[in-house]
A = this chain, B = another copy of it.
Amino acid sequence: MGGLADLGRFSEPALHILISLAPGPRHGYAMQDDIGELTGSRPGPGTLYGAIRRLEEHGYIEALPEQDRRKPYRLTDAGRAALNAELQRMRALAATGLRRLAVA
């Protein structure tokens, strides 16, 4: 309850997945746990695997050979670049916003 998240699409699961894959390959369930630790809320399967599919279609992540009924994914170079760009954009926007709040 409370917070901007009530207003809709502030959760950005795709971004969280990319951040989760930044240190190395991970399968879906492990991403859920990692994102839960990162953000405080664990995405459900509908959210997660939907976002994974779209990220794969865009070429930002790719599946590794399945083993032991786990499907690991890793960042592609394009995904790494896109993540980097997005994070820089976020950092700059946050800085601008906080500056504006401080002045006012």
Interface residues in chain A, defined as those with a beta carbon under 8 Å from any beta carbon in chain B: 2-4, 6-10, 12, 14-15, 18-19, 22-24, 38-39, 51, 54-55, 58, 60, 80, 82-88, 90-91, 93-98, 100-101, 103-104
- Asked whether, in the complex, the Cβ of B80 is within 8 Å of the Cβ of A87, the reply is no
- Asked whether, in the complex, the Cβ of A82 is within 8 Å of the Cβ of B3, the reply is yes
- Asked whether, in the complex, the Cβ of B82 is within 8 Å of the Cβ of A19, the reply is no
How many whole Å from A59's CB to the nearest CB in chain B?
Answer: 11
- Asked whether, in the complex, the Cβ of A94 is within 8 Å of the Cβ of B97, the reply is no
Return the chain B residue nearest A2 by Cβ: B82
> 9 closest Cβ contacts across the A-B interface?
A9-B9, A22-B100, A91-B94, A19-B97, A90-B94, A87-B97, A4-B86, A87-B94, A7-B14
| Interface SS of chain A | helix
- Asked whether, in the complex, the Cβ of B82 is within 8 Å of the Cβ of A87, the reply is no
Q: Which residues of B sit under 8 angstroms from A100, Cβ to Cβ?
A: 19, 22-23
Q: Which residues of B sit under 8 angstroms from A94, Cβ to Cβ?
A: 87-88, 90-91, 94
Given the known interface contacts A4-B15, A14-B7, the answer about A84 and B101 at a Cβ–Cβ threshold of 8 Å is yes
